[in-house]
C-alpha cells in the first residue's frame, strides 16, 4: 500500500529526468525539503506541468513509493507571475532557492521556515523594488534565514575570553561568533571586521532597521555563506 500525502509547497528547483519526467526540489509546509517526481510532466499539455512551475506556490498530493515520491495532483495557489517578469526579482527567487538548496539538509518539518519562505516570495511579488532594494532584501532575508537555521553568532563579547569588544575583531564561526584580536588564532576562514557592530545585521527583525547601504552586509554575507558552505563542521 502506498501512503497518500497532501501538503503545500514552494518549488525551488527542477531537473529534467528521462524522456518526459522532471524531479522537483520543493519546500513543504508539512515535510520540509523534499524531492518530488513529476511523471510524464513534459508530455503535451499536462495539468501537472501547467501548475507545477518553478518558484510557484502549490497545493500538491503525492504518493510515497520505493524510489520516489510521485506527484499525483496539484493545484496552483500562486505562480508569482508578476515577479517573474522582472529580471531583478527573478534573480532573487533563484538566489533564495539556492540558499535553501545549500543550507537546508535532509527532510525535516519546520513550518516557521515554510511561512518565512512563502512570505518572502509574496513580498517580492508585490513590492516595488529598486535595484538597491533588491540587494538589501536579499541580505536581510539571508541573515534572517541563518538565524532560523541556528547560525546566529555570539556578538556581545569575545567568544573566547568573554571580554567586551570595543571595535575591531574577527568573525570566527568555529568559536560561535566574534573573537577579539588577542584571542584570534589565525585560521584561513576567519573574517576581519573593522567594527563588531556589523554583526548586528543578524539581529534585525525588520528590514526598515537594516542599513540602507548593502555594501557592508553584502561583504559579511558572502564571507559567511562561503565559510558555512565550505566548512564540514557546519554542515547539518
Given the rule CB under 5 A, which residues bind Zn ion? 158, 160-161, 180, 183
Q: Is the Cβ–Cβ distance between 33 and 26 less than 8 Å?
A: yes
Cell of 211: 542599513
193: which strand partners?
169
Q: How far is the CB of 161 from Zn ion (least distance, A)?
A: 3
Instruction: Give 30 or 195: the residue with its C-beta nearer to Zn ion.
Output: 195
Q: In this structure, are residues 48 and 137 in contact, taking their beta carbons and an 8 Å threshold? A: no
Q: Is 37 helix (H, G, I), strand (E, B) or coil?
A: strand
Q: What does residue 198 show for φ and ψ, rounded to 5 degrees?
A: -60, -30
Q: How many CB atoms lie within 10 A of CB 98?
A: 13
In the chain, how many H helices and how many E strands? 6, 8
| Residue 40 vs 157, nearer CB to Zn ion | 157
Nearer to Zn ion, 136 or 178 (CB): 178
Q: Nearer Cβ to Zn ion, position 23 or 160? A: 160
DSSP character at residue 12: E
Name the minimum Å distance from CB 164 to Zn ion: 10
> Which CB, 112 or 164, lies closer to Zn ion?
164
What nine digits make up the cell of 8? Answer: 503545500
234 and 228 in contact (C-beta within 8 Å)?
A: yes
Kindly state the smallest distance separating residue 191's Cβ from Zn ion, in Å. Answer: 16
CB of 179 to Zn ion, least distance (A): 6
Closest approach, Cβ 183 to Zn ion, in A, equals 3
Amino acid at each position: 500500500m502506498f501512503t497518500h500525502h497532501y501538503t503545500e509547497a514552494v518549488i525551488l528547483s527542477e531537473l529534467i529526468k528521462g524522456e518526459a519526467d522532471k524531479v522537483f526540489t520543493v519546500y513543504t509546509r508539512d515535510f520540509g525539503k523534499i524531492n518530488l517526481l513529476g511523471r510524464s510532466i513534459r508530455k503535451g499539455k499536462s495539468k501537472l506541468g501547467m501548475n507545477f512551475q518553478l518558484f510557484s506556490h502549490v497545493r500538491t498530493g503525492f504518493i510515497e513509493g520505493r524510489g520516489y515520491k510521485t506527484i499525483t495532483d496539484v493545484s496552483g495557489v500562486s505562480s508569482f507571475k508578476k515577479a517573474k517578469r522582472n529580471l531583478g526579482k527573478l534573480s532573487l527567487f533563484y538566489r533564495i532557492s539556492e540558499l535553501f538548496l545549500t543550507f537546508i539538509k535532509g527532510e525535516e518539518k519546520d513550518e516557521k521556515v515554510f511561512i518565512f519562505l512563502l512570505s518572502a516570495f509574496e513580498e517580492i511579488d508585490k513590492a516595488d523594488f529598486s535595484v538597491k532594494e533588491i540587494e538589501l532584501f536579499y541580505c536581510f532575508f539571508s541573515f534572517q534565514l541563518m538565524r532560523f537555521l541556528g547560525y546566529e553568532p555570539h556578538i556581545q563579547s569575545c567568544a573566547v575570553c568573554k571580554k567586551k569588544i570595543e571595535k575591531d575583531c574577527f568573525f570566527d564561526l568555529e568559536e560561535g561568533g566574534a573573537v577579539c584580536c588577542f584571542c584570534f588564532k589565525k585560521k584561513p576562514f576567519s573574517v576581519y571586521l573593522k567594527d563588531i557592530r556589523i554583526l548586528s545585521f543578524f539581529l534585525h527583525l525588520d528590514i526598515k532597521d537594516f542599513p540602507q547601504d548593502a555594501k557592508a552586509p553584502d561583504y559579511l554575507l558572502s564571507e559567511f555563506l562561503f565559510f558555512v558552505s565550505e566548512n564540514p563542521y557546519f554542515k547539518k
